[in-house]
Structure 1
């Protein structure tokens, strides 16, 4: 979780920003139709294009999906470094990960190349700039599948055009508490954006974390997509702040009670499921942002929301942990992390 380290980043409502580009190699079958040998050749071609580059090559390490066990692969998904779809291509898939973990280049996922740049806080422009740099480097060595009229060709029709998905992760507990979140999600969907859970399509909004991204990639420029998303995110941030102020003004004691009860549970519980821990951590994070709690860093909470996911818990202990053992270890990790933070 190196990518979350940033003391100067404002991670209160917008936890992270990401830009992802989908690209394919000209005149080559999409990954779903590749055999092992062809998949291997593509991995070698893309690895060479990146690792041999004098500007960025030394910063990347390659991981082959067939060399990772299921738990290791799931941990990279939980850390937001690769997609769940890449796990399904374990025979021909792989990825290049930058040393600081801000950049991942997935190979033979749904498309031949899916590069993403991920930063803490609200910084889509930086993500876009870095992703474009990587894209230019790869394109200087590899001929992309591209059509002058419709843009980049992708395995899924919804990615044709720019091939870009820009997204932000938002913590919106006050909008959930005030029952405004469903109406906001519907409004966002109507203007060409989509709202998903913490791990994208098909996932739940655990810990009041919501991922918002563009739905369409054709008919708009990359800059237009970025600006549209930024405008909506700014509105959501304002809505969350307003809701936060209102609930604290009208229910100060109840909100403080909710926050301190959750903190107390996290500091003393001996067994916690993922869902319960995420709810409690969300309450504590809200307390930090409301300045109800002043001796715990928000970055610790953001990291714990990843560190307590199932695969991360298993790799912290051992692969033989059953569900009950994982819940016990989860509570121990949270207790010790908070105790250490409060002492320091």
Structure 2
């Protein structure tokens, strides 16, 4: 765990007396890591100020995890000159495409630290902005507390709704007051979704059936333009958009496809191949889940020190490479069956 590597007794003594304006302390920053030895980083931020006040601990951890020198973060949603056609028009490999970003609001604490009164105020502010979204982005907001358990479970199965946070986030304080002042906004076609009150204040999501990466990307770009005009998102010139978990800093973007790779994924070097392509691999139902019938969730591995355009370009190229490798693996398996027959 990076926490243990970088938190020396001297540094702990130096930071122990510090508190942000929202009451976030060193102890709260590291409490999830102390509770879970299998945590990767072991730290969470409670507000924007955390990244400055506890920078002697957080910045070295972020540098080592990301490989980025924290020299600066820019944003670029342009796709000019990049291919925008469907990656897999026949649907042979890709089931769906999903792009999400995390956002917090500058004047509020983040979900690990936010109080009940501010949580309600943040929800009201966000819902008012969401209610004015135009065209295909327009939709309805559903407070979690208003949904039946059966309805919640159905939406979770369809990857439209989030669940109560996992044990790492629970230890960080994200699950307090569950499910009050949390909710789901979705457009009529459910291709644009906003989660309110999950790991970050907002998870803004664009979904597309099949391999329409460009369509999902451009919808998200439009939505963020609308929201950014009315909401003051927490951001920093060096770290980019500020998130509760430092692994999401930078663009705070995770662009992914659900892809069938039953032959390629059987090979022992599958994960290493994906890593070399700059891709991260999860199971069918996201982090800590298992693949099913060779279906994997494949996404960009890097969020910090790259632009949104970079993520689009690298994911597209990486997924194209995986489809070619899977086709080769299928052909090899067919030849082997033919020889055996």
- Greater displacement, 66-75 / 193-202: 66-75
Cα contact 2:278–2:318 (8 A) shared by 1: no
- Whole-Å separation in 2 of the counterparts to 1:12 and 1:250: 22
- Whole-Å separation in 1 of the counterparts to 2:128 and 2:136: 12
**Residue number in structure 1 paired with 2:325:** 239
Cα contact 1:96–1:106 (8 A) shared by 2: yes
Cα contact 2:136–2:188 (8 A) shared by 1: no
**Residue number in structure 1 paired with 2:27:** none
Contiguous gaps of at least 5 residues in structure 2: 1-87, 167-174
**Residue number in structure 2 paired with 1:200:** 286
The TM-score, its normalising length taken from structure 1, stands at 0.66
Contiguous gaps of at least 5 residues in structure 1: 1-7, 256-344
- Whole-Å separation in 1 of the counterparts to 2:291 and 2:306: 28
Superposed displacement of residue 175, structure 1: 2.2
- Secondary structure of the structure 2 residue equivalent to 1:135: helix
**Residue number in structure 1 paired with 2:234:** 145
Superposed displacement of residue 174, structure 1: 2.3
**Residue number in structure 2 paired with 1:338:** none
Instruction: Give the 4+ runs in structure 1 shifted more than 6 A.
Output: none
- Whole-Å separation in 1 of the counterparts to 2:338 and 2:152: 43
Deviations 1:128-159, CA, capped at 9 Å, x for gaps: 11111111111111111111222111111011
- Whole-Å separation in 2 of the counterparts to 1:252 and 1:45: 63
Cα contact 2:248–2:304 (8 A) shared by 1: yes
Superposed displacement of residue 217, structure 1: 1.0
**Residue number in structure 2 paired with 1:167:** 256
Count of residues in Structure 1 that have an aligned counterpart in Structure 2: 245
Cα contact 1:11–1:120 (8 A) shared by 2: no
Superposed displacement of residue 99, structure 1: 1.0
- Whole-Å separation in 2 of the counterparts to 1:214 and 1:83: 21
Work out whether 1:226 is the aligned partner of 2:306: no
1:275-314 mapped onto 2 (5 Å cutoff): none
Work out whether 1:83 is the aligned partner of 2:169: no
**Residue number in structure 2 paired with 1:46:** 126
- Whole-Å separation in 2 of the counterparts to 1:15 and 1:236: 14
